[in-house]
Every structure is written in C-alpha cells, then in structure tokens.
Chains A and B, each alone.
Chain A
C-alpha cells in the first residue's frame, strides 16, 4: 500500500531530522516549509472535501478523514521535535544566565569580605 510507504518514509525523514545537527537557519526554513504545506493542504481540504477522499483512495487509504489523521500525526511529531529543540535552546540561555549570576555573586562577596577565606577555620568545631 502506498500509504505505508509514505508514512514510513515520513517517519524516517523525521528521525533523520531529529538526530541531525541543527544548522538553525535551514532547520527553521524546513519547519516553515512543512507547516506552510500543512496550511495549504488544510485549506484545500476544507474547499474540496471530496478531493481528500480521492487522494486517500489513490494512495490506498479508505477515507479522507483517515488520511487527515495520518498527516496530523506526522505534524504532531514535527511539533514535538520543534518544542524539544526550542526547550533545549531556552535551557542553554537560562544556564548562561544562572552561571553569570553565580560567578558575579562570588566576585561580589569576595570583594565585600576581603581576606575572609584566610580567616575561616580549617577544621571547624562540630556543628550542632
């Protein structure tokens, strides 16, 4: 059946996309192309409901709604990946911020209490 070939191909393509290094510009462009395609198909499906059924039967899917479900599933995978990637980028930024705060704070307290480290007892008495 055509639909099985198409779905497997789409899943493999997405899998490769997942693992590939994000050269962010081309990645973004690809995602936009995929979403643009999705929007066009959605509008066409609304305008010509029978066209979807015709297309579905052409590639071996019973009903147009089934084909839509498959497409939506693929889009969901794209969405999951996009969010994953975006979260990772956000995390990098937060890490950078938090690191800067930690380093600045250490600098500040060192400047506020010079020689404090030397005064610290090496073997403090047992804490309560």
Chain B
C-alpha cells in the first residue's frame, strides 16, 4: 500500500499553540502595562517617599529571612521525603500539597488563631511576639512558602540518581558527606532557582500577612501592604508606582532565576561522547 505523508505548509498545531501563547502574553502584558502606564508618573515620587522606602526595606529583610529559614527547613525535609524510610511519607506529602492549594488568607487566619492562643501568648511573654509584629511577616511568608520550597527541592533531589550516593558511600563517604559532596552540588542550580523564586513569592505575599500582622503604616507595612494602603486611601497613582517597584525587583529576581535555571547541565550521567 502506498502511504502518502501529507506535506502541509501550515502546521496547524504549532499555529494554534502560538496563537494561545500570544493571547496569554497579551492578557498578562496588558495587566503589566496598566501598572507601568498608571505608575510611571508617580514612580520617582514613590522612590523618594519614606513610606515606600520603609516598605522596600521591610519586605526585603523579611523575604530574605523567611527564604533562608525556608531553605534550612526544606532541604532536610525534602531529603527525608525522598531518601529516607521516614514513616507516613504518603500522608506527609499530601499534607504539604494541601496547604499549597489553600487560600493564603485562610493560612494567615490559622496562624492568627495559633499565635493568639495561650501558646502564642506564652511565646510573646518570652519575647517571641508574632501577632502584629514584623516577626509575624516572616512567619506568614515561611508558612506560605515552605510547601512550595519543599516541592521544588524534592524534585531536585529526585532527579539525582540515588546510585551515585550509594557509590559515594562505598567509597568511604558518610551519608552526610555523600549528600554534601554529590547530591547538593548536582542540585545546585535548582536550589539557587528555588531560593530566588521563594524570595520573590515572599516579597509579594499579602493575604497571610494581612491576617496575622495587619498593615500598620511604617510598622508592618510591606510592599504589597503599601500598595493596599494607597489603594484604600484612593491614591492609585502611588499604589501603581509601588507596584512598579515590586515589578522591577521581581523582574531582576526572575532574570537571575532564569539565568541559573536555563543553563544546560552538561554533565549528566551516561551522556558521553
């Protein structure tokens, strides 16, 4: 039987994909353009504003602190979930995934309930005040980002062949040494990407922070909080100018993330000349 392969000049599937991509770009681009168009006139004023500067400082410091904490908890937790015989791994994974899909506002409310209880008051008495304090912002960002961070790092660890760790151990490395010398270096790029993305998410966190610490001008005012306060007082220009600052910081972070993430890992096991 003579089969003819249709030599179509137009690849319909690719065309549809490109149209879909352009639609998405148009939609997202419009939203970003609206921010830039409305924010540009007040941009310089916003940069000079003491309030916005305070928000930039607070957001940067809390986002950095919460991201470092996230990595400190997420790396060993991900290792436990991917490499050890930890009991109840399945339910633990589901629990983490569940919090990923919960509204941040609700997670913030849960934190408020926990830290307003006698336990929370006890913590406050020993100097660990979470509710209505900048520490609460770190806590909110931490709780929101931990599941995301663990998911990313778990993926990174899963991509490293466990046999490499076994070999390292047969060669004399302890489990910790094999982790530090083989697993971590092989995940380095993805870990850096995770750090940057987690930091960007922390910078933009609003719902949980609003519930747990509220937004008090020049006290617990993060960048998203500053935008919210400006909108609620009808100062949309200033709100959009602040949003432009968030946009610029996020663009820088995402560019960095892409730089690390897109670099081809040219040394994969089994790839030989």
Q: Are chains A and B native binding partners rather than an unrelated pairing?
A: no
A interface list, Cβ under 8 A from B: none
Which residues of B does A touch, CB under 8 Å? none
